[in-house]
Amino acid sequence: MEYYVKSVVPMIETNYDNFTTVEKNIADFFIKNRKKVDFSAKSVAEKLFVSEASLSRFAKKCGYRGYREFVYQYEKTFVEKQESITGNTRMVLNAYQELLNKTYSLMDEVQIGRIAKYLNKAERVFVCGMGSSGFASDEMEMRFMRVGVDINSIKDTDIMRMQTVFRNNRSLIFGISISGEREEVLYFLRESYKRGAKAVLITANNKPEFDEFCDEVVLVPSLKHLNHGNVISPQFPVLVMLDIIYACYLQQDKYKKETFHDHTLRALEGVKNNDY
């Protein structure tokens, strides 16, 4: 059974903070809507007490040429949803499935391929995050270290600031900030980028200013738009995206990287066998 369809809703969510008050009202309608209705500009404008011009501006901020193109894509993937959650297990699983669907909608495979190439070329890789994003940062370090990447996870503010001094065009920096507002992480990306490093931001909040100091902005779904987002681990959407990047990276010179992985496993087994 095919679960994944490209939806416009995640793109609305990642641009939500860029909207005006009127545009947020429009966004809320399309995010929360569960019924098949008349989505024509005239009908929606009347329903929301907004102008058709506001609908057009909203659609353009979501990356579409106009409202007609936006609503065509919205209707194409719209599925009338019935709230049939009957227990905690189903609630959690449905939330995870929704996040996976949204990840698929946001994912740009060409972008992931570029990032995998950055990883292959970089002499040093740094990944930074604070709070729950710091856990994802540690996981990325562990995964990529085992296939031969010279990578360090940084979660300390002072170390982030000091490390920017030594970055150059042979460095690759990953910053993880779901909110897109962690100044420590943004500082590390900004200052490293100035010194020639490649900079990749993983975030759920798309902002135009990120393009000024990031080579790539990787969008992940936000938990705040889920009905039951408070029961999901906040790093889950990031970990899914990191797995996608890892899988793509592994495909490039796969034999060599799998050999590295096997060697690290043997090294760990050797430590265990000698641990009396």
Q: What is the dihedral of CA 237, 238, 242, 243, to 10 degrees?
A: -30
* pLDDT of amino acid 4: 61
User: Are 69 and 154 members of one domain?
Assistant: no
* pLDDT of amino acid 83: 53
User: Are 111 and 73 members of one domain?
Assistant: no
* pLDDT of amino acid 221: 92
Residue 39 lies in a domain: yes
Residue 147 lies in a domain: yes
User: Are 70 and 167 members of one domain?
Assistant: no
* pLDDT of amino acid 213: 96
Residue 54 lies in a domain: yes
Q: Of 82, 98, 132, which marks where a domain is finished?
A: 82
Q: In sequence order, what are the beta bridge partners of 72?
A: none
Task: List helix spans (H) across the chain.
Answer: 9-14, 21-32, 41-48, 52-61, 67-77, 88-106, 109-121, 132-145, 157-164, 183-194, 236-251, 254-273
Please give the model's pTM, rounded to 2 decimal places.
Answer: 0.78
User: Are 25 and 137 members of one domain?
Assistant: no
Per-residue pLDDT of the chain (276 residues; tens, 9 = 90+): 345 667 889 999 999 999 999 999 999 999 988 888 999 999 999 999 999 999 999 999 998 999 999 999 898 877 665 555 557 777 788 888 888 989 999 999 999 999 999 999 999 999 999 988 999 999 999 999 988 899 999 999 999 999 999 999 999 999 999 999 999 999 999 999 999 999 999 999 999 999 999 999 999 998 877 755 677 888 899 999 999 999 999 887 766 666 766 767 666 676 555 554
Residue 115 lies in a domain: yes
Residue 121 lies in a domain: yes
Into how many domains does the chain fold? 2
* pLDDT of amino acid 132: 87
User: Are 30 and 76 members of one domain?
Assistant: yes
Q: Specify the CATH number for the domain of residue 46.
A: 1.10.10.10
Residue 61 domain boundaries:
9-82
Residue 96 lies in a domain: no
Contact status, residue 257 vs residue 148, Cβ threshold 8 Å? yes
* pLDDT of amino acid 1: 37
* pLDDT of amino acid 125: 97
User: Are 35 and 150 members of one domain?
Assistant: no
User: Are 75 and 171 members of one domain?
Assistant: no
